């Protein structure tokens, strides 16, 4: 639970020995839902572009997502 990604050491088909560390879990992947009244905010176009391309948009606390309309 709460695993955002699995990092495998080496590459595809790389051999590894029993008992040797093969990779690690990277935590993250939090989801935040923002609910706004219609026409109350103008969101950054990059949010829509990333979504259209199937990309995530990393956001850090305090970062602006748009402007007040």
Cβ–Cβ under 8 Å, residues 9 and 22: yes
- Residue range(s) defining the domain that contains residue 36: 3-68
Supply the pLDDT for residue 11.
79
DSSP states of 16-43 as a string? --TTS--EEEEE----------TTSEEE
Number of domains in the chain: 1
């990092």: which residue's tokens? 7
pLDDT tens column, 6-55: 888 887 888 888 898 888 988 876 677 788 999 999 999 999 999 999 98
């Amino acid at each position: 639970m709460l695993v955002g990604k699995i990092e495998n050491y080496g590459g595809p088909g790389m051999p590894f020995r029993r008992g040797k560390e093969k990779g690690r879990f990277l935590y993250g992947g939090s989801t935040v839902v923002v609910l706004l009244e219609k026409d109350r905010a103008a969101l950054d176009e990059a949010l829509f572009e990333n979504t259209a391309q199937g990309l995530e948009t990393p956001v850090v606390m305090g970062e602006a997502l748009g402007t007040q309309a």
